[in-house]
Structures are given as structure tokens and as C-alpha cells.
Amino acid sequence: MSEKHEELMRRHFRAAAGQRGFTVDPAQQPAVDRLSRLAGELARAGGLFHRRPPGSLYVWGPVGRGKSWLVDTFFEGLPTTRKRRLHFHDFFRRLHDGVGRPADGPVHASAVDRAVAELLGDCRVLVFDEFHAHDAGDAMLVARLFRTLLERRVTLVTTSNYPPAGLMPDPLYHHLFEPTIRLIEQRMEVLDVSGPVDFRRLPHQAEGGRRFASGARLPAGTLPPGLAAPEPGEAVAVAAHLRTLPARAARGELVWFGFRELCEDRTSVPDYLALAERFGTVVLDGVPPLAACTADGRQRFANLVDVCCDRDVRLFLIGADPLSGLPADSALLRDLDRTASRLAMLR
């Protein structure tokens, strides 16, 4: 019975790759094998005898190696409703909503546990995509999440750009995260998907059939195909997360913002998620070289690109090449690696 599920998952992977016009890469094959075995193990554990749930997997590698594709395909192919897929940004938004903490008050651990429990419901498998941790707040929430998951015997499948020991790279906070790193290393099987190719940079990716990939980067003064520039009278306040944001226009499923309003003013990831829920196309004009932005502006832009790519929102960027003017060896360029890989998909 579990062999059947394993074989079905292998077939599902092959079909999913075929549908997108590629084949599983040799660097991805061990992950396909392991995820297929996991499907078999889950089927066995869910059977009559309720055995121990199978162990958790930590899939990591550089940007664009197909990690999200691997775990999303696995998720899609699992024949159960007791599964949940969460993106990192989504997780934090839901957690903060669930915890309902006062603006600057501390998050209480028990409240986090409650929120995590609510978030999980009766799910047995949690796919947690694009996991990272960058500050002390993240460290605390993620530590609770992992402990709760392991206690509740949920099978966790995560992806990350960092090996466990490289999580929370900031030396200021790294020590706070060491207990969680040890927990991950002890309790999760680590899979390295570090092939030589960033698939987003392959020419055919620009077509791909995905909405995000059908967006574009356009020079200042030009317009996305078929669209007129917003008239002053089209300016409108658009509902985001717990506030409104000043858009230059909202036309059906399309919303148009200036870079300053969306990335330099104090917006946040939950705002982008709210926009992505309502709009299928985002136009952002006045895009500067990121080298000329504030650090917060850069981070917001990177988060916006992440959310649009994950939610498959078509993105048009009008203005400068965001990545121009960054020295080849700058730390900034490394931080913007994920963004650069995603932007490579836009025409």
C-alpha cells in the first residue's frame, strides 16, 4: 500500500515536470526520491495501526534550484486533506493575527502555542516554504513553532536558502537561534538541493505560463502593453492590512502604485499579502536603483517581489533597473540574491 503511494508520487513528479516542459534535474532526483518515500510513509502511518508519524525534511539550496516546485508538487500530490502549505511571510502574518498582540507588547509563548495550534488544526503534514529567520522576534516565534510541531507529531517539510547551521546569519542574534538549529539537526533529515543551475535564469522561464513571469521590467517613461498612464482622478485609497494605501489607480484586478508609497512609506508584508489576495496585477512606477534606497525600502521591495512571485501576481516595474549600480562584491548584492533570481523571470 505504501509502495503504491510512493510510486504514485514519483509519477506525479514526472507528470508535473512534463506539464511545465522540463524533466527532473539530477540534482533534484534525491529530493524526488525522498519525498516520494515520504508519501509512502505517510500513507502507512495513516493506516489502521497509527504508527509513529514519519520524520520531517529540511530541503535547502541556493535560489532557483526548484525547491518550492519540489515541495509544492509533493503537497499537491498528497492524497489527504489533513495537509497545509504555508509560505514564510504568510505564517508570520497569521501568527501575529492569531496572537493579537498589542502594538509593541511582547508576544507570550502560550499565545504563540495557541495560535500555532489554531493554524495547524488537525493537519498531519505541514509544508513550510522559504523558511528563514532574521531577527530576535523571528527566532522566538520559529523556536515555538518547531517545538509545537515536534510535540504534536506533525510531519514538517521546509525549504530554505540556508543550511540549518547558517540560519539567522546575523552574528548579533545567531546564538539565540542555536537551540533551534540543534533541534532541526537532531529531528529533521537535511536534503541539499544545490545543483549548478538557477532555473529562473533559463530563457524559457520567461514564458513559463505563470502570471508572475508574464510581468515585465520597463524603462522610465514607458507603459505596460495596452495600459494608459493613471489620470490624477484615478487616485484611490486601496484597502490593505488594517489600513488603506494610496494607489495611483485601481482598475478591476489591476492596481498601480508609486514606488515611494508602496516601498518607502511604512508598509509591511501583510499589506502586500492583502493586495495579492485582491489583485492579479501590480504596476509599480518610479522604481529607483536599489543602491539609492533606504535599507528598509530595499527590504520592502524584496518582500513585495517575494509575495508577488509566491502568489503568482503579475508584476510590472517601471523605472531604473533595481539591481543596477551595486558593486559586484557588495554584501547588498548577496542579500538581494533571491530578488535578483525572481526578477530574472520578468521580461
Ligand X SMILES: Nc1ncnc2c1ncn2[C@@H]1O[C@H](COP(=O)(O)OP(=O)(O)OP(=O)(O)O)[C@@H](O)[C@H]1O
Contacting residues toward Mg ion, per CB under 5 A: 68
DSSP state of 205: G
Candidate residues 64, 215, 286, 319; the one interacting with ligand X per rule CB under 6 A: 64
Minimal distance, residue 183 CB to Mg ion, in Å: 23
Q: Is 162 in the site for ligand X (CB under 6 A)?
A: no
Query: Considering beta carbons, is residue 77 or 286 the nearer one to ligand X?
Result: 77
Query: Considering beta carbons, is residue 195 or 280 the nearer one to ligand X?
Result: 195
Minimal distance, residue 98 CB to ligand X, in Å: 25
Q: Is 260 in the site for ligand X (CB under 6 A)?
A: no
d(CA 263, CA 286): 11
Minimal distance, residue 235 CB to ligand X, in Å: 34
Q: Is 63 in the site for ligand X (CB under 6 A)?
A: yes
Minimal distance, residue 202 CB to ligand X, in Å: 6
Exposure string over 303-325, b if 16+ CB within 10 A, otherwise e: bbbbbbbbbebbbbbbbbebbee
Angle between helices 109-120 and 136-151 (to 10 degrees): 60
HEC string of 7-32 equals HHHHHHHHHHHHHCCCCCCCCCHHHH
Q: Is 200 in the site for ligand X (CB under 6 A)?
A: yes
- Sites for ligand X among residues 73-92 (CB under 6 A): none
Grid coordinates in use for 88? 514564510
Please classify residue 232 by burial: count the beta carbons closer than 10 Å to its beta carbon, then call 0-12 exposed, 13-18 middle and 19+ buried.
Answer: exposed
Grid coordinates in use for 173? 542574534
- Sites for ligand X among residues 21-40 (CB under 6 A): 22, 24-25, 28
281 binding partner (options Mg ion, ligand X, none; Cβ < 5 to 8 Å by kind)? none
206 binding partner (options ligand X, Mg ion, none; Cβ < 5 to 8 Å by kind)? none
Q: Is 322 in the site for ligand X (CB under 6 A)?
A: no
* Stretch touching ligand X by CB under 6 A, among 64-72, 168-176, 220-228, 269-277: 64-72
Q: Is 67 in the site for ligand X (CB under 6 A)?
A: yes
Q: Could you tell me how many residues make up the chain?
A: 347
d(CA 75, CA 39): 9
Helix, strand, coil percentages for the chain (3-state, nearest 5): 45, 15, 35
Residue nearest to Mg ion (CB): 68
Please classify residue 249 by burial: count the beta carbons closer than 10 Å to its beta carbon, then call 0-12 exposed, 13-18 middle and 19+ buried.
Answer: buried
State the residues that interact with ligand X by CB under 6 A: 20, 22, 24-25, 28, 63-69, 130, 159, 161, 199-200, 205, 208, 338, 341
